[in-house]
A and B are shown apart, each in its own frame.
Chain A
């Protein structure tokens, strides 16, 4: 069974600063996903990473995947308050939708 570990679990940032959230997984995972969850809300899909070396960017967020290291990163550039949320990574094998989540990183961006 795929195990997914995120760190840090809690992250408090100043606006304008950069930081990276790390996601390690235990076995071969051909698909890596990043989701955002606001308090009391459901999960919003941010990125789907499908292959080694994949890099995707949306606004101040950039995600990458290194399947050899079994590592994905979510990089935050020049954080703003609106990015405050919990971010989850999840992985699944190539051939099915058995998607397993990490514990989440609760990000707080302070002025």
Chain B
């Protein structure tokens, strides 16, 4: 069966721009979470969505936002990009709490 699909795989943006990343979870998975991975900070939790509702949120500024659609697909948006937003953004989906996550291949965002 298809895994978690993230698009695009690579992205280069300029400071001040905004960006939208997309994630299609495994069919039947209703929980989608987003993580930011950087060499300095490691894997940091951004937010989790379940049935179109944000259930959990990490410690990121309001420039980072997300949403989930009725088909469980999710998007995250980063506005007013900063150089420090350069990272690998990982989306993960889960059947339910406690089942663990399956991760997508990630979107590598470079802000110049």
User: When A42-B90, A99-B33, A101-B43 are in contact, do A48 and B100 touch as well, CB less than 8 Å?
Assistant: yes
* Alpha-carbon distance A104/B38, docked complex (angstroms): 12
Q: Closest CB of chain A to B4's CB: distance in Å?
A: 8
A92 surroundings in chain B (CB, below 8 A): 97-98
Cross-interface CB contact of B98 among A31, A41, A101, A102, cutoff 8 Å:
A31
A97 touches B43 (CB 8 A): no
Main secondary structure of the interface of B (DSSP, over half): strand
A88 surroundings in chain B (CB, below 8 A): 43
Bin the interface of chain A by size: 20 to 34
Which B residues form the contact surface with A (CB < 8 A)?
31, 33, 35, 42-43, 45, 48, 50, 55-56, 90, 92, 94, 97-106
B102 touches A96 (CB 8 A): no
Most buried by B among A90, A95, A97: A97
User: When A42-B90, A50-B98 are in contact, do A96 and B48 touch as well, CB less than 8 Å?
Assistant: yes
Cross-interface CB contact of B56 among A41, A44, A94, A98, cutoff 8 Å:
A98
